[in-house]
Amino acid sequence: MLITRKLEFDAGHRISTHNSQCRHLHGHRYVIEITLSGNIIADEGVAEQGMVMDFSEVKRIAKSALVDQWDHAFLVYSGDTKVLQFLQSIEDHKTVVLDVQPTAENLALIAFDLLDEAYQDSYGNHLRLEQVRLFETPNCWADAVRETR
């Protein structure tokens, strides 16, 4: 059985090597869809009977492992030294430094890895992260899928 939970967060970034508008500092209202697989819990009398996982738990783990860190942060590539130095000059600025350009594709892959570990740590083999879909805009998204990792 597959279940999916959607969350949203706001973050800024730029693609420093790009030749379009994306090279400028800007932000997005990101939407992330987290798809997990597992068996439906059949145990009598447990709160999760009939569920793969309580959706509120999917959200809690995702917020703790990813969303709370990225929400209202600036996601910056470590090689983007001008912007990184600028952000570091701002006291208490929420900055997430990445080893790769913060494209939708790279962010989806990073999110997959962070969330995969978080769900595995919390639920062992009962659940398996199958896909992370990250919308940069309503019309543009990237999918990180387990079978292609």
Catalytic residue annotation: 22, 72, 136
Determine how many CB atoms are found less than 10 A away from the CB of residue 106. 19
d(CA 149, CA 39): 22
Q: How far is CA 74 from CA 10, 26, 69, 84, in A?
A: 9, 9, 10, 10
